[in-house]
Structure 1
Amino acid sequence: MPPAFSLQSVLDVRHNRVEALEIELGRLLAMQLNAQNLLAGLCETQKGLMNQLVEAQQGEIDLFKIRVLHDDLRVVGERMETVKEELSRLEMQIEKKRRDLVAARQEEETLQILRRKRLEAYQAEQARVEMAFQDDLYIAQAFRQRYQEI
């Protein structure tokens, strides 16, 4: 049975950190997707309002309706700017989280390599001990045969 890896608790902590970062990155990506969908919806709303404004400016002009459409367009434009700022902020957070995740995975992989090397060293030592034991058996058998021949 191979010996316990002395840094297993550290490896477990690193693995848990990687999982937590993956979850957080997934949450940020979902927020980004929601914001992109919201921005797309606002763009469609803006196009619809622009079309309504064009229609309102043709034929008999209703100044109240035009004013309401202008106000709606302004509100939609402000909301679009807010969502764009949010998307920019999310993009920076996502990039930072990705860098953190890569670093955490590298740290975890380093410990995985140490664990594998320790296991390989243990297996090599076990193989050497077994070979030495077999050599001792063969030497003992050879001495026994020689002693019986005499």
Structure 2
Amino acid sequence: MSEAADERSLASRLRLAVVRLNRRLRAQRADNEVSLTQISALSSLYKCGPMTPGQLAAREGVQPPSMTRVIAALEGLEYVERSPHPTDGRQAIVTLTKEGQDYVRTTISRREMWLDQRLAELTDEERRVLSKAAEIIERMARHN
């Protein structure tokens, strides 16, 4: 098999593996009321703290109008709230509510528990390989 064919095969195998893993992780959601995009935005707020809609859009890699819709939906669920920016009257700060924090903790806990169980079934060497692969995939995901 040529090197180019090997690379296509790797790309295909990696894409399918990520899609399948993502599907399994989605099945661990606390409910189906919140979309994956919304969960991702909630997770970013949980990890990084309050931020402007523009900062959140940039972090999530979406256009600001799309993030505005995500934030509005999350406000409707009472998972986030907007407050005035302390120094820029044109901006708002988006913050997780207690309900939003609880939702993220529950969702993360379910997913991580499922992943922890799968990882426990692997050898030490397989876990080391996955640790390195996670670093590489994260780096790939940051590129446009």
Shorter chain as normaliser: what TM range?
under 0.3
Of structures 1 and 2, the one with the larger relative CO (CA 8 A, separation 6+) is: 1
Structure with the higher helix share, 1 or 2: 1
Higher strand fraction (1 or 2): 2
Per the normalisation by structure 2, the TM-score is 0.28
The structure number with the bigger radius of gyration is 1
